[in-house]
Amino acid sequence: MSTSLAEAQERADARRRAEERRATVASFAREYPFEGREFDLGGVVYHYLDEGPRDGAPLLFVHGNPTWSFHWRNAIGAFRDRHRCIAVDHVGCGLSDKPARYPYRLAQHVENLERLVLALDLRRITLVAHDWGGPIGLGFASRHLDRVARVVLLNTSVFTGARAPWRIRACRAPGLGALAVRGFNAFAGLATVMAVERHERMTPAVRRGYLAPYDSFAHRIATLRFVQDIPLSPAHPSYQELARIERSLPDFAGIPKCLIWGGLDWCFTPEHLARFRAAWPDAEAHLDERAGHYVIEDARERVLRWMQRFFERHPLPVLALDGPTAPTAGPTSEPRSAGQE
């Protein structure tokens, strides 16, 4: 196939994917009024949002399981007037590709995030991470501390040796776990009930937003793979990467850090918050005792206020761009707007 024909096919494929994404978000478009972008990970599409001024200090939002960039919609709406807000969808999640054969491991997700951040040449980053986004985001940040200016963590963990709650372990059971998570969408579906305490905030539109990308057995593959990738023993393939990230925590000394926690989270309990506070005695910490795992849903106003005050206490000057914000390595690594011609 000639270069021109290949480029035409690529543009057609991008338009098709953009149409599919518009159809996916149509029923909750008011909750998610953002333009999606694509990053090519060697033939696998990595979807992300890039909202706000390009010369604004970047906020890098990294979600967990079973959420996606939709989880950060209120924070993006609150901060995109003065910050550049980047929110990724991990491979297998949200509006990214969901390949059946893929190394859905912690190290791979860290590498994917790293490739995007380096391609965009983001600097003076404020990392904002929740759930699995904690180890993925800190996994990237620990390798590029010179690019990281602030860290905000919400209900997450990077600690080896933790025991998984029985509800998580049940989803890892051979056969039964796959049937429940992929067959009946039990993990994502039940999270819209079990991860929140203020159920009135899980409106039909918000619930559709959380669940829309996981509408079939095939599209729920990463939901299961994330559960299976929790390294509960040193023999697990992701244990060493998690241990590396845990060992890196002292390296964040001197970087302003903010910990925001929902106290009723049955998975990442306040014990995890206490372990972070022990590792980071200089970190600012906030606990909402009435909020659950989706603390940014239950306590949205308080969370955004805590974040804003943290940013004000640790201001970053807006810097003029002195280099390209898009990669120059060619089409295999070029971010583009979804449907861009």
Q: Is 293 a catalytic residue?
A: yes
Range of lowest pLDDT (32-46, 184-198, 213-227, 309-323): 309-323
Length of the chain: 341
Whether the CB-CB separation of 156 and 230 falls below 8 Å is answered with no
DSSP state of 3: H
Catalytic residue among 109, 219, 272, 293: 293
**Residue ranges of the alpha helices (H) in the chain?**
3-25, 73-79, 106-120, 133-141, 166-171, 176-178, 186-194, 204-211, 221-228, 239-247, 270-279, 295-298, 300-313
Pairing of strands 58-62, 84-88: parallel
**Percent of all residues in the chain with a pLDDT value above 70, rounded to a whole number:** 92
Determine the Cα–Cα distance for residues 60 and 127; give it in Å rounded to an integer.
5
Whether the CB-CB separation of 85 and 61 falls below 8 Å is answered with yes
**Percent of all residues in the chain with a pLDDT value above 90, rounded to a whole number:** 83
pTM of the model: 0.92
Give the start-to-end residue ranges of the domains of the chain: 3-337
DSSP state of 4: H
- What's the fold here for domain 3-337? Rossmann fold (3.40.50)
SS3 300: helix
Q: Is 63 a catalytic residue?
A: no
Determine the Cα–Cα distance for residues 142 and 236; give it in Å rounded to an integer.
21
Handedness of CA 289, 293, 297, 303 (dihedral sign): positive
Determine the Cα–Cα distance for residues 44 and 38; give it in Å rounded to an integer.
10
Give residue-wise pLDDT tens across range 309-336.
999 999 986 555 444 444 433 333 445 5
Give residue-wise pLDDT tens across range 150-160.
999 999 999 99
**3 has a pLDDT exceeding 70:** yes
Give residue-wise pLDDT tens across range 248-266.
999 999 999 999 999 999 9
Q: What is the pLDDT of residue 334?
A: 46
Determine the Cα–Cα distance for residues 69 and 48; give it in Å rounded to an integer.
7
Q: Is 146 a catalytic residue?
A: no
Catalytic residue among 40, 50, 97, 265: 265
Q: What is the pLDDT of residue 114?
A: 98
Whether the CB-CB separation of 180 and 32 falls below 8 Å is answered with no
Catalytic residue among 40, 50, 131, 298: 131
Q: What is the pLDDT of residue 167?
A: 87
Beta carbons within 8 Å of 89's beta carbon, 6+ residues apart = 46, 47, 48, 63, 68, 69, 95, 96, 213
